Structure 1
């Protein structure tokens, strides 16, 4: 966990980075692990590993041309690769205090255990109705990418009905996955191993209500 340090530098800079990313030209967005790997290496990063699709973003560990090991995030919506390193807090990346401030502005209370892990800010908090939730925030914009709360057997915190195993399999097959196995509901999400459209073996985490793939990681 990183110490909480107040900063205001990141706000205009983060906004500028985000705007630039949205306006950046893109020839082809990375839609699978193979394309994501190629896109990251095209920016000069090497020895890329632990590539995974998390919260709609590709994440990986990689080495910069000058030999620095960092995390990188690839947004498939605009094909932009963002380097994420510890020495960027307070400059190109917001601090833990900034993440806490953003959550408070969004209406969360009793915010604690803020930490930076695998390229994202994570925290525990309570909503205004008192429900305890685990949160994941975008490292630059501080947008809440995931909110996981207490889960019942039939409904998610969003109020939707949980998909059955057969419905999850059907959703994966419709998305181009095949050879689906080890389908299991664990810790509030569906998990499975499968072969993705790029013919790579991957480990998946699936939204229990929408059937959307939340995370795709190459199966080592």
Structure 2
């Protein structure tokens, strides 16, 4: 094998190793990552960051300087500001949860920018859910 082929192979392997170490986190976000994600999206004065009910919660100032409460998906870091409008109705949320295997769904309400519900998960455990207002995807789940 000539030197240029060997060098090319080495660069490919090095590039793959670099891509693996710089990819998005695979586990739940840390508090530092939550603060970083909020800063990247223009939020300032981030306070009271805590993990609760299966999602991250924080108080912050929006880019316009307004005080807002935000929720973040613990896996993806997607931010849900409290003033967000839901794209799905309660009936849509119930239908999405039923399709995902949840039963006995009750106490479905839209609060602080996300849908909340209680019910039994596909394994039959009583859970409290946090749901994406645009997709109906469960973004947080905790034993009820």
TM-score range, shorter chain: 0.5 to 0.7
CA-atom RMSD, angstroms? 4.0
TM-score, scaled relative to structure 1:
0.42
Partner in structure 2 of residue 115 of structure 1: 48
User: Are residues 1:19 and 2:13 paired?
Assistant: no
Report the number of matched residues: 121
Partner in structure 2 of residue 87 of structure 1: none
Partner in structure 1 of residue 116 of structure 2: 191
Partner in structure 2 of residue 179 of structure 1: 104
Alignment of 1:3-152 (within 5 A): 19=21, 78=26, 94=32, 99=35, 103-104=38-39, 106=40, 108=42, 111-118=44-51, 122-127=58-63, 130=64, 132=66, 133-135=68-70, 144-151=77-84
TM-score, scaled relative to structure 2:
0.59
Unaligned 5+ residue runs, structure 2?
A: 1-17
User: Are residues 1:164 and 2:89 paired?
Assistant: yes
Give the one of 116, 136, 141 matched to 1:211: 136
Please say if residues 136 and 144 of structure 1, whose CA atoms lie closer than 8 Å, have aligned partners that are also in contact. no
Displacement of 1:118: 2.8
Please say if residues 69 and 112 of structure 2, whose CA atoms lie closer than 8 Å, have aligned partners that are also in contact. no
Bigger Rg, which one: 2
Report the CA distance shift for 1:188/1:145 in structure 2 as closer, same or farther (over 3 A). Answer: closer
Report the CA distance shift for 1:175/1:131 in structure 2 as closer, same or farther (over 3 A). Answer: farther
Please say if residues 138 and 144 of structure 1, whose CA atoms lie closer than 8 Å, have aligned partners that are also in contact. yes
Report the CA distance shift for 1:123/1:19 in structure 2 as closer, same or farther (over 3 A). Answer: farther
